[in-house]
């Protein structure tokens, strides 16, 4: 089962904002590694790793008993929306970890490897915790999704020396959480993390980055998204709500989306501090008119998020 380490990611964003103010993704310190910055970077990463792990254990696993390490096959649960969450989270953690150690003037290649190892390592920590939890288990499907996210980041760095395929996230509240709040969340924050019906995962790319002679703006992206709807039980695609008079039945479905987006890193902004402020917005899909394919039918939404 996918879990967004929301607090961990927010701390990472705040931390890397400072890191990116003076050093771009491809800058190397001309006089060698900066020891104090390296210590600060790794210390901050370690503190965030430990703190978020402890916090997640107390919040997520508090109601679950622990036992012998075991495996759990959830490859098809939630119509794989949770696997998209694993992919997205590992990618972002790898990216921001790389930026943090690059600030310490490590060579770019080493920074990429270290960032990728941190992103995948943190997610593996959570998966091992799952392995000892009675409610879940170690999932190879989750690990595969984590690995794809890490490889997407690492592969693009070595292939293009930039990120052209940008995983992004959007969320909108749904009414499904009110039907099963014990599963999909009670509070707005819980629903953001648990209600997969409101989550959409995107891959944004700009044709202008693939064709050097193109006049297509490099900051304007085409975005393909994936989401699910009416999914109230992880391993079942049909749910009947007997708590209300007419006992409605909900049939889960997949949704594929096509939209536009913005790559904030590619905007023609000269001030580095402003680019640093805008860069974390690349984690999110900007609302645009969207085409939605579901159950063989195409619908539109003028302002989809």
The whole-number average pLDDT for the span 130-154 is 93
Looking at every residue in the chain, the average pLDDT score rounds to 86
Residue 274: CB atoms within 10 A of its CB come to 11
Q: Which 8-state DSSP code applies to residue 80?
A: G
pLDDT of residue 262 exceeding 50: yes
Q: Render pLDDT for 166-225 as a digit per residue (tens, 0 to 9).
A: 999 999 999 999 999 999 999 998 899 899 999 999 999 999 999 888 889 999 999 999
Q: In this structure, is the dihedral angle defined by the CA atoms of residues 81, 83, 85 and 88, taken in order, positive or negative? A: negative
Furthest C-alpha separation in the chain: 73
Whole-number percent of the chain with pLDDT over 70: 88
Give the residue among 256, 261, 304, 259 at the shortest CA–CA distance from 284: 261
DSSP letters, 116-180, are: HHHHHHHHHHHHHHHHTBTT--B-HHHHHHHHHHHHHHHHHHHHHSS--SEEEEEE---SHHHHS
Domain ranges for the chain, please list them: 1-162, 164-305
pLDDT confidence tier of residue 160, bands split at 50, 70 and 90: very high
What does the pLDDT read at residue 53?
79
Q: What's the CA gap between 287 and 279, in Å, rounded?
A: 17
How big is the CA angle at 35 (ends 32 and 39), to the nearest 5 degrees?
140
What does the pLDDT read at residue 243?
87
Residue in the block written with tokens 């890490």? 150
Q: Which residues pair with 239 in a beta bridge?
A: 250
- Higher pLDDT residue, 238 or 53? 238
Per the CB < 8 A criterion, the answer to whether 290 and 301 are in contact is yes
Q: Render pLDDT for 91-109 as a digit per residue (tens, 0 to 9).
A: 999 998 888 888 877 889 9
- Residue 118 main-chain phi, psi, to 5 deg: -70, -45
pLDDT confidence tier of residue 11, bands split at 50, 70 and 90: very low
């Amino acid at each position: 089962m996918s879990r967004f380490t929301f607090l961990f990611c927010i701390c990472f964003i705040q931390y890397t904002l400072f890191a990116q103010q003076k050093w771009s993704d491809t800058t190397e310190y001309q006089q060698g590694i900066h020891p104090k910055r390296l210590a600060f970077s790794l210390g901050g990463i370690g503190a965030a790793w430990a703190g978020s792990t402890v916090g997640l254990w107390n919040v997520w696993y508090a109601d679950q008993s622990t036992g012998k390490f075991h495996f759990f096959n959830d490859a098809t649960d939630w119509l794989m929306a949770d696997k998209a969450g694993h992919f997205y989270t590992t990618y972002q953690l790898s990216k921001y970890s790389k930026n943090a150690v690059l600030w310490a003037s490590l060579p770019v290649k080493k920074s990429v490897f270290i960032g990728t190892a941190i992103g995948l390592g943190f997610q593996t920590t959570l998966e091992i915790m799952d392995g000892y939890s009675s409610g879940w288990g170690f999932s190879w499907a989750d690990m595969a999704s984590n690995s794809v996210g890490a490889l997407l980041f690492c592969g693009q760095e070595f292939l293009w020396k930039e990120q052209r395929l940008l995983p992004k996230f959007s969320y909108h509240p749904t009414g499904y959480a009110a039907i099963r709040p014990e599963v999909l969340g009670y509070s707005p924050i819980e629903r953001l993390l648990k209600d997969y019906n409101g989550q959409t995962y995107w891959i944004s790319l700009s044709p202008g980055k693939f064709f050097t002679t193109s006049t297509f703006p490099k900051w304007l992206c085409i975005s393909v998204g994936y989401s699910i709807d009416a999914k109230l039980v992880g391993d079942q695609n049909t749910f009947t709500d007997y708590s209300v008079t007419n006992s409605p039945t909900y049939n889960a479905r997949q949704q594929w989306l096509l939209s536009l987006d913005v790559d904030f890193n590619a905007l023609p902004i000269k001030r580095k501090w402003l680019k640093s402020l805008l860069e974390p917005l690349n984690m999110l899909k900007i609302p645009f008119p969207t085409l939605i394919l579901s159950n063989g039918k195409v619908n539109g939404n003028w302002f989809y998020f």
